């Protein structure tokens, strides 16, 4: 099933629930409204933004869809809403001050006014007539004298609102605008690749924001004419004719994806440079709605313990085929996960993972098992995005290696081995900052075990594990403990100075470390911590017995991961015998 067809069906479901605008409309971020009286006189500027957060944020509104012609060098006005250069003829200059000339504001407003006067000349709707009268008489220079004026409105999207004779509402919500010839299609017809119906073909496909700084499309073609030779016109096809999609299908998939990507939506998550959108599909709307929530909770676990418990129980039941009496659980319900990333003029599809809810549950619970480590570094189910911060300098999102987010998410959703690049990045960060925490050890365990398809690295400390790299990691932890116990208050231990070298070339480093450890153990056994000294000496001997006569000269990347896991287990596992020694 194609991406576009799945999104088009999602639009049908959203439209039935009233979550999506009707054809000819789109959901846009609106910041201000010009409030008019019955004769078109502007009363004030109303701030429509949400002030719930730290900064005022635009609110989504269903408004007439924006022009299909791309705005660049061309001036293309919208209908009943637009940014301030079009709707009011005002913009900002280079110093962030009010300007009537910057950004071609004069020409844009003239085009906006001309379009509305032409479309509204025959209407009998008094609200639309008041908008026409306002535009006919409006002087952009009067903007500063209008109550409610703020520099914040410049270049934001603005709508028109009526407040006269007890009538209050937005002009774009008037039913009479459906009678206006706002979007009469002159496109030729062809068989739509999404719906299979013969219908007018869209020339330009929808644009999407929220992924990069600029609007970009999933489907687009190089600009060309019939006389030009090029990839987009080599068969005499121009723009959308290269892959005919009907205008209705383009509107449907564009509206659905914009809703998924909208700010505040629970059906998308940002992972490094990749934005993943997800949704469920089922004959029963309640099953689909619960699937939407479950997918969002699985990839980005909630904070509330009750929600975590509900999510975990649902996924475990689905993965084991025990839907029980819960009508919301359907292992055969379809799910879709789409990963998008910015890529020059269009969006790059990083991954497309259709499947079933049962398969999704099995893969997610397996991912949790792969990361299971004792002592646990997680307060709840680990989130996919949290792994990537362990690979980034200063744990900042902008420093996460490119492409890694999409590769990790694809592996989690499909049950495939985690990328080796994830292991390399984690080990690289440990070498750089020396932080050997549980999350990084768990990542090493997950990557190695998934690749080998067996439990090479156990969940908890395994004294019987004979893998040389794992045992050397344990040995390093005991040597560090001997040093810190014998010489308390050190500014830097052997972990800070030798861990990177010991985990990569053990034969060069461990002889020196063991030699120094004999002095540390001698100090311990002579002092008040004699019990600890004897216990550490016995622990060293036990680990040595499991190592071969020849120490490895160099460890592979996977063996370095085993070294880290062994170190973490030995360093942080609580030992009853150690307590007795104390």
Q: How many CA atoms lie within 13 A of 514 on its CB side?
A: 15
**CA separation for the pair 387, 441 (Å, rounded):** 11
Share of the chain above pLDDT 90, in %: 68
Q: Which of 233-237, 241-245, 420-424, 467-471 has the lowest mean pLDDT?
A: 233-237
- Predicted local distance difference test score (pLDDT) of residue 454: 86
pLDDT digits (tens, 9 = 90+) for 371-412: 999 999 998 899 999 999 999 999 998 899 988 999 999 999
Residues whose CB falls within 8 Å of the CB of residue 572, separated by 6 or more in sequence, listed in order: 375, 438
What does pLDDT average to over the chain? Answer: 90
- Predicted local distance difference test score (pLDDT) of residue 345: 74
Over 80: is that where the pLDDT of 27 sits?
A: yes
Over 70: is that where the pLDDT of 171 sits?
A: yes
Q: Which of 45-54, 342-351, 356-365 has the lowest mean pLDDT?
A: 342-351
Over 70: is that where the pLDDT of 547 sits?
A: yes
The confidence band for 575, taking pLDDT boundaries of 50, 70 and 90, is low
Retrieve residue 203's tokens: 């020339």
Q: For the purposes of burial, counting CB atoms within 10 Å of the CB of 278, is it exposed (0-12), middle (13-18) or buried (19 or more)?
A: buried
Over 80: is that where the pLDDT of 335 sits?
A: yes
Rounded to an integer, the average pLDDT of 220-242 is 65
Rounded to an integer, the average pLDDT of 195-213 is 87
**CA separation for the pair 98, 93 (Å, rounded):** 7
Give one word for 92, left, alpha or beta, with left for phi > 0 and alpha for psi -120 to 50: beta
- Predicted local distance difference test score (pLDDT) of residue 478: 96
Over 50: is that where the pLDDT of 78 sits?
A: yes
The confidence band for 169, taking pLDDT boundaries of 50, 70 and 90, is very high
The confidence band for 582, taking pLDDT boundaries of 50, 70 and 90, is low
Retrieve residue 215's tokens: 């609007």
Over 70: is that where the pLDDT of 577 sits?
A: no
- Predicted local distance difference test score (pLDDT) of residue 227: 47
Over 70: is that where the pLDDT of 224 sits?
A: no
- Predicted local distance difference test score (pLDDT) of residue 53: 87
Retrieve residue 97's tokens: 């001050």
Paired residues of 340 in beta bridges = 275, 349
Least Cα distance to 309 among 222, 390, 381 occurs for 381
Share of the chain above pLDDT 70, in %: 95
pLDDT digits (tens, 9 = 90+) for 142-165: 999 999 999 999 999 999 999 987
Is residue 36 a contact partner of residue 42, using CB atoms and an 8 Å limit?
Answer: yes
Least Cα distance to 254 among 304, 204, 292 occurs for 204
**CA separation for the pair 426, 107 (Å, rounded):** 54
pLDDT digits (tens, 9 = 90+) for 98-114: 999 888 999 999 999 99
Is residue 63 a contact partner of residue 183, using CB atoms and an 8 Å limit?
Answer: no
Least Cα distance to 388 among 366, 419, 357, 358 occurs for 419
Rounded to an integer, the average pLDDT of 419-434 is 96
Retrieve residue 236's tokens: 């005499």
């Amino acid at each position: 099933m194609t991406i576009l067809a799945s999104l088009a069906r999602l639009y049908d479901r959203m439209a039935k629930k009233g979550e999506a605008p009707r054809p000819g409309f789109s959901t846009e971020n609106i910041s201000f409204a010009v409030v008019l009286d019955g004769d078109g006189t502007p009363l004030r500027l109303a701030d429509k933004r949400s002030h719930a957060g730290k900064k005022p944020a635009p609110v989504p509104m269903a408004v007439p869809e924006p022009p299909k012609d791309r705005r660049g060098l061309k001036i293309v006005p919208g209908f009943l809403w637009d940014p301030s250069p079009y709707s009011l003829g005002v913009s900002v200059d280079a110093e962030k001050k009010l300007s009537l000339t910057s950004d071609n504001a004069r020409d844009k407003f003239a085009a906006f006014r001309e379009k509305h006067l032409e479309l509204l000349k025959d209407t009998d709707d008094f609200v639309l007539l008041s908008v026409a009268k306002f535009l006919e008489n409006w002087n952009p220079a009067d903007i500063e004298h209008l109550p409610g004026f703020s520099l914040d409105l410049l270049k934001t999207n603005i709508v028109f609102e009526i407040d006269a004779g007890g009538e209050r509402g937005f002009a774009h919500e008037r039913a009479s605008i459906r009678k206006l010839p706002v979007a009469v299609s002159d496109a030729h017809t062809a068989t739509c690749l999404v719906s299979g119906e013969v219908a007018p073909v869209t020339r330009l496909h929808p644009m999407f924001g929220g992924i990069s700084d600029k609007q970009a499309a999933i489907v687009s073609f190089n600009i060309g004419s019939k006389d030009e030779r090029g990839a987009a016109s080599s068969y005499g096809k121009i723009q959308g004719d290269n892959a005919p999609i009907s205008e209705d299908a383009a509107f449907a998939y564009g509206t659905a994806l914009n809703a998924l990507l909208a700010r505040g939506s629970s059906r998308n998550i940002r992972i490094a440079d990749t934005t993943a959108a997800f949704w469920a599909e089922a004959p029963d709307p309640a099953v689909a709605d619960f699937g939407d929530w479950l997918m969002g909770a699985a990839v980005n676990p909630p904070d509330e313990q009750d929600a975590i418990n509900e999510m975990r129980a649902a996924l475990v039941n689905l993965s084991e085929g025990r839907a029980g009496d819960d009508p919301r659980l359907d292992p055969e319900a379809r799910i879709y996960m789409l990963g998008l990333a910015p890529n020059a003029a269009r969006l790059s599809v990083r991954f497309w993972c259709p499947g079933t809810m049962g398969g999704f549950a099995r893969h997610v619970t397996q991912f949790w098992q792969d990361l299971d480590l004792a002592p646990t570094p997680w307060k709840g189910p680990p989130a996919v995005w949290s792994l990537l911060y362990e690979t980034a300098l200063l744990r900042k999102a902008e420093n996460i290696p490119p492409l890694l987010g999409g590769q990790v998410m694809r592996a989690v959703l499909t049950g495939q081995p985690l990328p080796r690049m994830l292991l390399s990045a984690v080990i690289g960060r440990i070498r750089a900052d020396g932080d050997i925490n549980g999350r990084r050890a768990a990542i090493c365990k997950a990557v190695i075990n998934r690749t080998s398809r067996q439990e090479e690295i156990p969940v908890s400390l395994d004294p019987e594990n004979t893998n040389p790299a794992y045992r050397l990691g344990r040995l390093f932890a005991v040597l560090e403990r001997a040093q810190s116990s014998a010489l308390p208050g050190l500014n830097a231990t052997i972990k800070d100075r030798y861990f990177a070298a010991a985990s990569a070339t053990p034969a060069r480093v461990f002889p020196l470390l063991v030699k120094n450890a004999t002095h540390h153990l001698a100090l311990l056994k002579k002092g008040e911590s004699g019990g600890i000294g004897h216990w550490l000496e016995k622990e060293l001997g036990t680990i040595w017995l499991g190592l071969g006569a020849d120490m490895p000269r160099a460890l592979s990347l996977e063996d370095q991961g085993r070294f880290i896991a062994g170190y973490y287990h030995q360093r942080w596992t609580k030992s009853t015998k150690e307590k007795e020694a104390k």
